């Protein structure tokens, strides 16, 4: 369980280490470690796909992007997302699939297929209108693959795909915008948390198999974070004061445990020539929340942009003035991290220990010869 008023508030040396890691890579051209980055997921990594959909789940207005050099782009953040920051791999953040300009040479560094409100289950998030589900994102990748087949030989394409990295961030919407909404979705009446986690994992495994069959070989699969600690969940008042909503955090446990186990199974010989990595988002984010000063944070229980209790009852609306000290906030809006928090998550995924990424980290994944 996560204590929102945790211990060890001061750890200057650790703050310096994280700051140096961050400053040492931002703004510098990195050596190319992967042929391309393919991003699939939800609003945590959507970089503009929902701008092209009939959807209520959009972030193409100020103050989203207030600290991003291009302003509001559809990113649910004040600046860069988790997958953007993984340009440490030497590959620029890939363009959104839904943008008509994403074609030709623009796809040679990868494509972002992620969609706000999209989930592993097709029905998750449907109350927001159009969104691109996991199933459709895999179909969209096949469309991109068709274009690539016209641009390189079969042998070169096989090598290109094998040296690519797939970043997959799924599951949060299946809880936030499905399981935790009993008035709109029936899943919590038919499935206990263990059964629901198994349902998600079965669907997820099916599409991972499809992507493997299409030639992808290096996968980073992010677990679900402690969604019971988001300003939106804190604003419900269902938790003990000063703590996250533990009952919600416990719901995602079976999914995360199962995803880590699935990674072990896939690496056990059933998918030769491939490597699957589990990203312990829950553990890393929990460390940020329990030890905020270690990472330079001061505010962990309120959104930088939002209204109501914990600034999480109404999420960031157009032209709402955000907080000024954004680097000191863990949460940007009711659901999503700030760029500063995304930076910690990315750094731990990229170069962290096996506690952060199992069995290897993203940097090691990129260097792996399969």
CA atoms of 134 and 115, how far apart (whole Å): 9
Burial 300-312 (b: 16+ CB within 10 A, else e): bbbbbbbeeebbb
CB neighbourhood size of 255 (10 A) = 27
CA atoms of 55 and 196, how far apart (whole Å): 26
Catalytic residue, chosen from 172, 333, 356, 357, is: 333
Say whether 333 is catalytic: yes
Q: Write the CB contacts of 365 (distance below 8 Å, at least 6 apart in sequence).
A: 165, 218, 220, 275, 277
Q: Which burial class, exposed, middle or buried, applies to 210 when counting CB atoms under 10 A from its CB (0-12, 13-18, 19+)?
A: middle
Catalytic residue, chosen from 67, 83, 124, 336, is: 336
Say whether 336 is catalytic: yes
Catalytic residue, chosen from 43, 55, 115, 172, is: 43
Q: Single out the residue of 218, 354, 356, 228 nearest to residue 280, CA to CA.
A: 356
Place of tokens 């200057």: 12
Q: Which residues are catalytic?
A: 43, 333, 336
């Amino acid at each position: 369980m996560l204590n929102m008023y945790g211990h060890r508030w001061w750890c200057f040396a650790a703050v310096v280490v994280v700051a140096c890691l961050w400053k040492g890579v931002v703004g510098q051209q990195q050596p190319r470690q992967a042929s391309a980055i393919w991003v699939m997921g939800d609003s945590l990594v959507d970089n503009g796909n929902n701008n092209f959909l009939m959807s209520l789940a959009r972030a193409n207005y100020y103050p989203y992007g207030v600290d991003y050099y291009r302003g509001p782009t559809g990113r649910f953040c004040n600046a860069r997302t988790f997958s953007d920051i993984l340009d440490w791999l030497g590959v620029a953040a890939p363009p959104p699939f839904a943008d008509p300009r994403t074609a030709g040479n623009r796809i040679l560094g990868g494509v972002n297929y992620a969609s706000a409100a999209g989930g592993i289950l097709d029905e998750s998030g449907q109350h927001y209108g159009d969104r691109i589900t996991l199933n459709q994102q895999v179909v969209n990748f096949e469309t991109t693959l068709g274009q690539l087949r016209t641009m390189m030989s079969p042998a070169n394409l096989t090598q290109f795909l094998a040296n690519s990295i797939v970043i997959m961030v799924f599951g949060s919407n299946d809880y936030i915008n499905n399981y935790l909404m009993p008035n709109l979705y029936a899943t919590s009446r038919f499935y206990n948390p263990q059964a629901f986690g198994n349902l998600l994992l079965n669907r997820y495994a099916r599409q991972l198999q499809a992507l493997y069959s299409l030639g992808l070989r290096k996968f980073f699969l992010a677990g679900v974070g402690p969604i019971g600690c988001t300003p939106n969940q804190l604003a419900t008042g269902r938790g003990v004061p000063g703590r996250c909503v533990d009952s919600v955090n416990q719901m995602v446990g079976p999914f995360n445990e199962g995803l880590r186990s699935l990674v072990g199974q896939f690496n056990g010989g059933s998918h030769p020539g491939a490597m699957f990595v589990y990203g312990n988002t829950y553990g890393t984010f929990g460390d940020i929340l329990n030890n905020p000063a270690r990472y330079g944070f001061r505010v962990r229980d309120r959104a930088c942009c939002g209204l109501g209790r914990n600034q999480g009852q109404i999420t960031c609306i157009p032209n709402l003035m955000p907080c000024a000290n954004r680097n000191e906030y863990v949460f940007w809006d009711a659901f999503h991290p700030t760029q500063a928090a995304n930076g910690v998550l990315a750094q731990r995924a990229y170069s962290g220990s096996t506690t952060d990424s199992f069995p290897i980290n993203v940097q090691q994944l990129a260097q792996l010869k399969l």
